[in-house]
Structure 1
Amino acid sequence: MAEGAARPGPERRPQPGEIWWADVPFEDGPGSKDRPCLVLAVHGGAARVAKITSRYHDERPGVIPLPPGTVGDTHGRPSFLETDELREVRVRDFRRRVGVVDPLLWDQLRHL
Structure 2
Amino acid sequence: MARRSDTSCAGPGCAGLLLVLFVLPTVGYLLAVPLALPDLLAEQSPPQQLRGFGQYLIVYAIPTVVALLLAVFASRRRSGARWLVPARAVSLLALVAAALWWTEGQVGDHPAWNVRATAESMAAGLVALAFVVAVRRWDASRGGPRVAVGTHRPAPGEIWLAMVPLREDPARQLRHYCVVLAVHPGHAEVAQITTKDKDGRADHIRIPNDGWDRASGRAHWVEFGRTPRLVDYGMFLKSRPQGRCPAPVWRQLSRQLG
Please tell me whether residue 86 in structure 1 is matched to residue 228 in structure 2.
yes
How does 1:1-112 map onto structure 2 within 5 Å?
4-5=142-143, 7-9=145-147, 11-29=151-169, 30-58=171-199, 60-68=201-209, 71-72=212-213, 74-83=215-224, 84-96=226-238, 97-111=241-255, 112=257
RMSD: 2.3
Structure 2 unpaired stretches of 5+: 1-139
Q: How many angstroms does 1:104 deviate by?
A: 2.8
Which of the two has greater strand per residue? 1
Q: How many angstroms does 1:105 deviate by?
A: 2.3
* Alignment CA distance shift 1:104-1:55 (3 Å): same
Q: How many angstroms does 1:67 deviate by?
A: 1.5
Q: Secondary structure at the match of 2:161?
A: strand
1:19-67 residue CA offsets vs partner (Å, 9 max, x unmatched): 0000000010131001100000000010000000001234642211112
Identical aligned residues as a percent: 34
Q: How many angstroms does 1:103 deviate by?
A: 2.1
Structure of higher RCO (CA pairs closer than 8 Å, 6+ residues apart): 1
Which of the two has greater helix per residue? 2
Structure 1 unpaired stretches of 5+: none
**Larger-gyration structure (1/2):** 2
* Alignment CA distance shift 1:70-1:28 (3 Å): farther
Contact 2:192 2:223 in 1 (8 A): yes
Return the TM-score normalized by structure 1. Answer: 0.84
Return the TM-score normalized by structure 2. Answer: 0.39
Q: Secondary structure at the match of 1:41?
A: strand
